[in-house]
A and B are shown apart, each in its own frame.
Chain A
Amino acid sequence: MSDSAASTFDEFYRGTSRRLVRYAFGLTGDLREAQDLAQEAYIRGWQRWSKLATYGNGEAWLRLVVTRLATDRRRAKAFRVRRAAALTVEAGKDADDAAVLDVVVLVGAMRKLPVDQRRALAMHYLLDMPIGDIAAETGVAVGTVKSWLSRGRTALAEALSGEPTTAGGRDV
């Protein structure tokens, strides 16, 4: 492809990569996997760049790719084993850092949620996306996103406090 295509792709990459890694991390709970998935999404993005560049929201396309790759990879035993090993290392090496502990706790709780709730939480809390935008991107009603967020928050609250929570979480 042309130099100009490379230039616009590089700009797109630099403008979106941080948010994409955040999203991938929220979805998978694994920094290494988030790194892998984000880079893979950009590789595929470059292969289709002539079309992707014309989309109104290329970042949403990247998130779709990451979501599908994450779902697909989760089924591969080898990847699961590697991820488990990576998590062990990560949790152990910085265990004295309170912020890291927060992340480890959050990751453990997030991993127990269904993928739809994880997606919604990651978009809302890690990317600051409004509920209407999440609904549009995931193709569901606003009420469904609210329900995912509410249930996700309730489950996270239970996991993080170690006690069952009766309330459904605050309304969004």
Chain B
Amino acid sequence: MSDQLAQFFAAAAERADAVPLAGPAAARRTGTRRRRARIATLAVVCALVVAAIPVGVHQLTTQRGFVPVPLVPSPSAPTTAPPSPAPSASASASLDPCSVQPAQCYPPVRPWHEERLPAPCTQPSHPSDALIAQRRSESRSSYYDLAGQGTTMYAVTLTRYRSGGAAKYLAEVRTELARCRTVARTSDFGNATVTLTYRRVGTGLGGDESLLASRSYREVSEAQPGSSNPTYPIAMVRIGDVVAVVYDYGWEGSPSLPSRFDQFVADAVADLRAGKP
């Protein structure tokens, strides 16, 4: 059988060798064009930011500081929000609908591969949602250059609770992780079945309380019965009444390097300690 396999592979190699490519000049042309387009886009964004500064300054002076979107007005919260540092971290971060509507954090409103908060039991809400005072959720990208690994994506959701809601939220997640480890659902892309598996991995991420979980998904379809099973980490850290959830999306089918993810979590904890959201 070994000889036969070698024969099969030799035939495959021969077929592949006959595939014509567009050539290096075409690759360079397209690459250069994309780089110019990116630079042009960046210039437009910079221009918009510069144009928005006067508006932002006006708002800051009239509101006494940046206020993350208040999701549910708290009866016990002060009528004016305390001054807070500017929105955090990455230049490529963008605010997310999850900041203003809890259902936008979970499937099925949000595609399963873009969920912001773990939903092992596919519930679009948690009881502790009623205790949310403020939430700020944003996706971020990070470029790193270890063996050309390129860009990776992740999301950070910072939530301030009242009346012990933060501890309650983590307790709810722990319960769900234990109760609903595996969820099978229809793929967002078609008729395949996606099996999502959540796993509690550990604690020890800092803060008053923390939880490290992972989610892996397996797409099974008639066309692709042997698909991969990538696993992505989810970190949850509570400090007092605020919780940070860091959700890794990786890049093109692979998770972020563990060392990078650790840094993302450390950045989120630093945000919490700085008083965000």
Asked if A112 contacts B34 (CB within 8 A), the reply is no
**Interface of A: prevailing SS:** helix
Asked if A103 contacts B229 (CB within 8 A), the reply is no
Kindly state whether residue A64 has any CB partner on chain B within 8 Å: yes
CA distance in complex: A103, B8 (Å):
6
Kindly state whether residue A142 has any CB partner on chain B within 8 Å: no
Residues of B within 8 A of A156 (CB): 5, 8
Asked if B19 contacts A13 (CB within 8 A), the reply is no
CA distance in complex: A165, B2 (Å):
13
Asked if A76 contacts B189 (CB within 8 A), the reply is yes
CA distance in complex: A123, B34 (Å):
30
Asked if A153 contacts B5 (CB within 8 A), the reply is yes
Q: Given contacts A35-B19, A84-B223, A125-B5, is CB(A103)–CB(B11) below 8 Å?
A: yes
Q: Given contacts A51-B145, A75-B219, A115-B226, is CB(A39)–CB(B27) below 8 Å?
A: yes
A138 to chain B, nearest CB (A): 11
Asked if A68 contacts B27 (CB within 8 A), the reply is no
Q: Given contacts A71-B253, A126-B13, A170-B2, is CB(A46)–CB(B189) below 8 Å?
A: no
Q: Given contacts A71-B252, A160-B8, is CB(A21)–CB(B16) below 8 Å?
A: yes
Kindly state whether residue A72 has any CB partner on chain B within 8 Å: yes
B217 to chain A, nearest CB (A): 10
* Chain B: CB-nearest residue to A101: B11
Q: Given contacts A34-B16, A75-B219, is CB(A44)–CB(B8) below 8 Å?
A: no
Kindly state whether residue B204 has any CB partner on chain A within 8 Å: no
B window 168-214: CB within 8 A of A? 187, 189-190
CA distance in complex: A114, B14 (Å):
24
Asked if B253 contacts A105 (CB within 8 A), the reply is no
Query: CB < 8 Å: which of A34, A75, A106, A113 contacts B19?
Result: A34
Kindly state whether residue B55 has any CB partner on chain A within 8 Å: no
A window 42-63: CB within 8 A of B? 42-48, 51-52, 55, 60-61
Asked if B24 contacts A25 (CB within 8 A), the reply is no
Kindly state whether residue A134 has any CB partner on chain B within 8 Å: no
Asked if B223 contacts A125 (CB within 8 A), the reply is no
List chain A positions with a Cβ less than 8 A from chain B. Answer: 1, 6, 9-10, 13-14, 17-18, 21-22, 24-26, 31, 34-35, 38-39, 42-48, 51-52, 55, 60-61, 64-65, 67-72, 74-77, 80, 84, 99-100, 102-103, 105-107, 111-118, 121, 125-126, 153, 156-157, 160-161, 165, 170
Q: List 27 A-B contacts (CB under 8 A).
A: A10-B24, A18-B16, A21-B21, A24-B16, A25-B19, A35-B20, A35-B21, A46-B30, A47-B31, A48-B148, A55-B148, A60-B147, A70-B253, A71-B253, A74-B219, A80-B189, A80-B190, A84-B223, A99-B15, A102-B8, A102-B11, A106-B8, A111-B225, A126-B12, A153-B1, A161-B1, A170-B2
Which 10 pairs from chain A and chain B are nearest by CB?
Answer: A71-B253, A68-B252, A46-B31, A13-B24, A42-B27, A77-B190, A125-B9, A115-B228, A10-B24, A25-B16
